A = this chain, B = another copy of it.
Amino acid sequence: MTDAAFDPSERSTIHRLPSRGAYDKKTVFDILDRGILAHVGFTGEHGPVVIPMGYARREDAVLLHGSAKSRLLGALAKGTDVCVTVTLLDGLVLARSTFHHSMNYRSVVVFGRSREIADAKEKNAALEHIVEHLVPGRGVDARGANDGELDATLVIEVPIQDASAKIRTGPPVDESRDLSIDIWAGVVPLEMKPGAPIADEHTASDKPVPDYVRDYSKGR
């Protein structure tokens, strides 16, 4: 692994449409830093399991967290091979043939071995990093975790062993003989958009909406 890129390994090399693949950290980290949800896969007692989780990247690792009562988190805490996938969906690509229909997206697939962050101080720092990833600016405002809350939480680190990004952009690519077919073809852009913030009933009605809520821009 160099500073600038993840070495393509047997499991991370993109064989299909390799021109869509990338291994440089700039591309991989940019996608990881924009995402909200990761889909985390590992092989459990009964076979493969994929669970959606909030996450954050910190340097060359992905941080995960969850309840100390969660069996899934417990399995990750023991140390197991995991695959963490983050996908930003950018649009539907409507070609003239069903065959050439596609999607525009940016995705990252990370491979690594999970380990628990058990030390209370490191755990707290990791949790604050996750909150700051999900809602940049929130960490300063919210009350930090107390000892009981830290005990009730498992924090998992997945050092990135291999990673690859895959990106598709642009219009449909049709067979030239199909171009005369008289149908609309193109892209329906898709974007994860925040709606108007909904204050809860305990928030004073004159309490301003924080900038980091109003200008929320993750997920795209």
A interface residue numbers (CB < 8 A to B): 10-11, 15-16, 36-37, 39-52, 54, 66-67, 69-71, 81-85, 87, 89, 91-92, 94-99, 101, 103, 105, 107, 109, 111, 127-128, 131, 134-135, 138-139, 141-146, 149, 152-153, 171-172, 174, 178-179, 181-204, 207-210, 213, 216, 219
Residues on B with C-beta less than 8 A from A143 are: 96-98, 178, 181
Residues on the B chain within 8 Å of A66, using CB: 16
Q: How many copies of this chain sit in the oligomeric assembly?
A: 2
Which of B11, B51, B82, B199 interacts with A185 by CB under 8 Å?
Answer: B199
A139 surroundings in chain B (CB, below 8 A): 98
Chain A to chain B: the 10 pairs with minimum beta-carbon distance, closest first: A39-B39, A41-B41, A189-B195, A41-B50, A47-B81, A11-B46, A171-B200, A50-B85, A186-B199, A99-B149
Which of chain B's residues have a CB closer than 8 A to the CB of A44? 11
Cβ contact within 8 Å between A190 and B192? yes
Q: Are A98 and B192 in contact (CB under 8 A)?
A: no
Q: Report Cα–Cα, A198/B191, bound state, in Å.
A: 14
A67 cross-chain contacts in B, Cβ below 8 A: 16
Chain B residues, Cβ within 8 Å of A172: 200
